[in-house]
């Protein structure tokens, strides 16, 4: 059995690849046809799993690499800016919540989903130079809660069942 700080680069590569595959699969299912910007965030299963099983630094590294690679392969500089802002705010909220030990995996995931959407809205307001886009935040908060619950429940099962 591996010790906490001896995880191999191969494991990180597998986790990054899994997160990228989940991101790509999600792009094939257009959930945002009715409400632009709404996504389930399947790749966040990997982020939450890594946060709990390996640690905050690894969760940041794996998620950052995924955001960069997905933006290069399938996006553009704007999609990178929105994704990076969402990722940073999401992890900034999830990491201390997880460390506190007062929240369930699902609670941490929900907060991450809402924070991710808030980060994207803030990035859009700055990039577009308009604060009116903030009116869209309640819609994205609702979707963040719903997606966070789904991702949190799935992640909790993986955390419990997968031994690394």
Question: Is 137 inside a domain boundary?
Answer: yes
Question: Is 45 inside a domain boundary?
Answer: yes
- What pTM does this model have? 0.91
Number of domains, the chain: 1
Give the pLDDT of the chain (164 residues) as one tens digit per residue. Answer: 445 555 789 999 999 999 999 999 988 876 655 566 678 899 999 999 999 999 999 999 999 999 999 999 988 999 899 999 999 999 999 999 999 999 999 999 999 999 999 999 999 999 999 999 888 889 899 999 999 999 999 999 999 999 98
Length of the chain: 164
Question: Is 66 inside a domain boundary?
Answer: yes
- Measured CA to CA, the distance from residue 65 to residue 78 in angstroms comes to 17
Helices vs. strands in the chain: H and E counts, helices first:
6, 0
- Measured CA to CA, the distance from residue 115 to residue 124 in angstroms comes to 14
SS3 labels along 58-72 = HHHHHHHHHHHHHHH
Question: Is 2 inside a domain boundary?
Answer: no
**Domain coverage including residue 35:** 9-161
Question: Is 22 inside a domain boundary?
Answer: yes
pLDDT computed for residue 16 by the predictor: 97
Question: Is 1 inside a domain boundary?
Answer: no
- Measured CA to CA, the distance from residue 149 to residue 100 in angstroms comes to 19
Question: Is 122 inside a domain boundary?
Answer: yes
Q: What is the CATH number of the domain that holds 71?
A: 1.10.1760.20
pLDDT computed for residue 1 by the predictor: 45
Question: Is 4 inside a domain boundary?
Answer: no
């Amino acid at each position: 059995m591996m010790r906490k700080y001896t995880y191999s680069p191969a494991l990180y590569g597998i986790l990054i690849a899994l997160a990228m595959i989940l991101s790509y699969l999600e792009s094939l299912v257009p959930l945002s046809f009715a409400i632009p910007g709404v996504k389930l965030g399947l790749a966040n299963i990997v982020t939450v799993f890594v946060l709990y099983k390996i640690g905050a630094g690894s969760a940041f590294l794996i998620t950052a690499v995924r955001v960069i690679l997905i933006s290069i392969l399938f996006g553009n500089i704007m999609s990178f800016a929105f994704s990076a802002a969402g990722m940073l705010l999401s992890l900034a909220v999830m990491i201390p919540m997880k460390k506190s030990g007062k929240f369930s995996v699902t609670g941490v995931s929900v907060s991450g989903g809402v924070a991710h959407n808030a980060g994207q809205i803030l990035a859009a307001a700055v990039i577009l130079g308009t604060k009116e886009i903030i009116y869209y935040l309640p819609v994205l908060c609702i979707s963040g809660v719903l997606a966070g619950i789904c991702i949190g429940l799935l992640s909790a099962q993986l955390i419990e069942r997968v031994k690394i």
